[in-house]
Structure 1
Amino acid sequence: MGVLTGKTALVTGSGRGIGRGIAQRLGRDGARVGVHYNGNVAAAKETVASIEAAGGQAFAFAAPLGAPGDAQALWTAFDAHADGLDILVNNAGTDGVRAVIEDTSEDDFDRVFAVNTKSPFFVTKLGLDRLRDGGRIINISTNLTRGAGVPELLAYTMTKGAIDAFTSVLAKQVGARGITVNAVAPGVVDTDMNAGWLRNDETMAAVAAMSAMNRVAEPAEIADIVAFLASNDGRWVTGQWIDATGGALL
């Protein structure tokens, strides 16, 4: 029996990349996993199939994020499959336009904040009534908020700085219910989203050199940290920003 048997989890943006890795790990640990996706139904079905092939349970549902009413639409879709929740992983996000401040428009700025900051806020707000006491909220942040800034990702980094503050303040509010709230902050991870610029020998070597481990992270390594926080072993960790960069900030 897995450590999360009997639990229900929701991982936003879990059709691909880090989200898929998290969903797969929670599924292996026994949770029934809601695989949320925006538009790529084939990828979401692949995530569900992989969880089921490993003996787990999962279901996929669609809900575009970043538009008015998106949080309510997400929960309406989720409620059709599950009655209550134990683990919420706010993973879905976008890096938005890659541009320095001079080249970032208001529309670009508003879009990345809508997806990365506003959506997790209201998804969590509406999810609190569904989240059972002793539950877990895990937000995916970034190492960029702790001194690893990239000028072309300024707006993106600001969205995650807001998520870091959201994490610590919310942890104080919901702690009396036994709910923990933490942020996991990856560096560069080898995912489909990063493939276009990352997967060449020169770049892979340069990124690997940033880590004390001298390699590039895989989604499973981020997923394992999330799994610890989701389990009973993580019950006394809350309000924390957890460096998941393999020592890139040392």
Structure 2
Amino acid sequence: MTDLTGKVAVVTGSARGIGEAIAKRFASLGANVVVNYSTDEENARRTASEIEAAGGRAHVVQADISSLPDIDRLFDETLTTFGSVDIVVANAGREVVGQLAADVTEDDFDRLFSVNAKGAFFTLQKAAKVLTDGGRLISIGSTTTIFPYSGLGLYSSSKVVAAQFVRILALELASRAITVNTILPTGILGAGVFADPAGAEAFRAGDAQMGRIDGRVGTPEDVADAAEYFVGDLAGWVSGQTLTVAGGAIA
């Protein structure tokens, strides 16, 4: 079993969904966890309370990762509270589905790229500067970056930047024994646009027939399983890699 006792983990966008599941998993393995949110303070506080009720330790930090001063404050507060940073998961992001490429406006572009590209890039950059040697960096991407979907051109394009940056950081941080990897989840029930009950039900009905293992759709816990692998000892010599979490489906 993975032992993260004494480690400090920062998970951006961890008020709910995939980020919440990863934060709770790391806490259950002994890590001190920073729960980050941009606007959803209620769910961030709930996540932290549930971590602490289960015997873990959590600290909540509001920070909008599209803002570089906010990113700096996120890590500065983590260092002040816990003294170090050992694990960082760049998970925060925005989703837009069903938008044809011809309909994308400059405002649409700026809104998504400010978080999914700029925010993820500078979160990873700042993390690389403060991470302890032997630390772990994980970027949460999307299968839309490797499988083309109509109506997801802007979203998938915005997620490509971090995926490429991960490969570069893996080379640049190798001498410090820091691993840098990407997880590409498919659509995940209870996360992103599929957290809405109506959208989740439609997703469950349509996606379960696409060749998934056990005929089911993915859950945030499936992604947390992959994150646990990357932060554990078994992945100590795995870096610059991309792990697709899609239940065996190829699209």
TM bracket, shorter-chain basis: over 0.9
Contact 1:97/1:108 (<8 A) preserved: no
Contact 1:62/1:77 (<8 A) preserved: no
Instruction: State the shift of 1:156 in Å.
Output: 1.1
Contact 2:18/2:191 (<8 A) preserved: no
Instruction: State the shift of 1:235 in Å.
Output: 0.4
Q: Provide closer, same or farther for how the CA distance between residues 70 and 152 of structure 1 changes in structure 2, counting only shifts above 3 A.
A: farther
Query: Using the alignment, how far apart are the partners of 2:139 and 2:77 within structure 1?
Result: 21
Query: Using the alignment, how far apart are the partners of 1:162 and 1:211 within structure 2?
Result: 29
Q: Provide closer, same or farther for how the CA distance between residues 69 and 211 of structure 1 changes in structure 2, counting only shifts above 3 A.
A: farther
Q: Secondary structure at the match of 1:246?
A: coil
Query: Using the alignment, how far apart are the partners of 1:185 and 1:192 within structure 2?
Result: 13
Moved over 6 A (4+): none
Q: Secondary structure at the match of 1:133?
A: coil
What is the percentage of aligned positions where both structures have the same residue?
Answer: 36
Summarize deviations over 1:73-132 as a string: whole Å, max 9, x none: 332343442222000000000014741111100111111111011112112222223200
| Corresponding residue number in structure 2 for 1:228 | 229
Instruction: State the shift of 1:243 in Å.
Output: 0.9
Query: Using the alignment, how far apart are the partners of 1:146 and 1:34 within structure 2?
Result: 30
Summarize deviations over 1:144-177 as a string: whole Å, max 9, x none: 1112x22221111012121211111110110110
Unmatched tracts of structure 1, length 5 or more: none
RMSD of aligned alpha carbons: 1.8
| Corresponding residue number in structure 1 for 2:160 | 161
| Corresponding residue number in structure 1 for 2:15 | 15
Query: Using the alignment, how far apart are the partners of 2:41 and 2:113 within structure 1?
Result: 24
Provide the TM-score with structure 2 as the length reference. Answer: 0.93
1:199 aligns with 2:200: yes
| Corresponding residue number in structure 1 for 2:131 | 131
Instruction: State the shift of 1:211 in Å.
Output: 3.7
Task: Please identify, of 205-214 and 112-121, the stretch whose mean Cα deviation from structure 2 is larger.
Answer: 205-214
Instruction: State the shift of 1:248 in Å.
Output: 1.6
Task: Please identify, of 109-118 and 3-12, the stretch whose mean Cα deviation from structure 2 is larger.
Answer: 109-118
Count of aligned residue pairs for this structure pair: 248
Contact 2:191/2:220 (<8 A) preserved: no
Query: Using the alignment, how far apart are the partners of 2:48 and 2:206 within structure 1?
Result: 34
Tell me which amino acid in the other structure corresponds to 2:225: D
Tell me which amino acid in the other structure corresponds to 2:169: L
Q: Provide closer, same or farther for how the CA distance between residues 123 and 205 of structure 1 changes in structure 2, counting only shifts above 3 A.
A: same
Contact 1:11/1:36 (<8 A) preserved: yes
Contact 1:190/1:198 (<8 A) preserved: no
Instruction: State the shift of 1:49 in Å.
Output: 1.3
Task: Please identify, of 220-229 and 160-169, the stretch whose mean Cα deviation from structure 2 is larger.
Answer: 160-169
Q: Provide closer, same or farther for how the CA distance between residues 68 and 7 of structure 1 changes in structure 2, counting only shifts above 3 A.
A: closer
Q: Secondary structure at the match of 1:185?
A: strand
| Corresponding residue number in structure 2 for 1:215 | 216
Query: Using the alignment, how far apart are the partners of 1:78 and 1:142 within structure 2?
Result: 27
Tell me which amino acid in the other structure corresponds to 2:186: G
Contact 2:85/2:131 (<8 A) preserved: yes
Tell me which amino acid in the other structure corresponds to 1:22: I
Provide the TM-score with structure 1 as the length reference. Answer: 0.93
Q: Secondary structure at the match of 2:243?
A: strand
Contact 1:62/1:74 (<8 A) preserved: yes
Contact 2:35/2:59 (<8 A) preserved: yes
Query: Using the alignment, how far apart are the partners of 1:203 and 1:183 within structure 2?
Result: 24
Q: Provide closer, same or farther for how the CA distance between residues 240 and 28 of structure 1 changes in structure 2, counting only shifts above 3 A.
A: same
| Corresponding residue number in structure 2 for 1:174 | 173
Tell me which amino acid in the other structure corresponds to 2:200: R
Query: Using the alignment, how far apart are the partners of 1:133 and 1:233 within structure 2?
Result: 17
Query: Counterparts of 1:102-113 in structure 2 under 5 Å?
Result: 102-113=102-113
| Corresponding residue number in structure 2 for 1:85 | 85
Query: Using the alignment, how far apart are the partners of 1:78 and 1:39 within structure 2?
Result: 19
Unmatched tracts of structure 2, length 5 or more: none
Q: Secondary structure at the match of 1:9?
A: strand
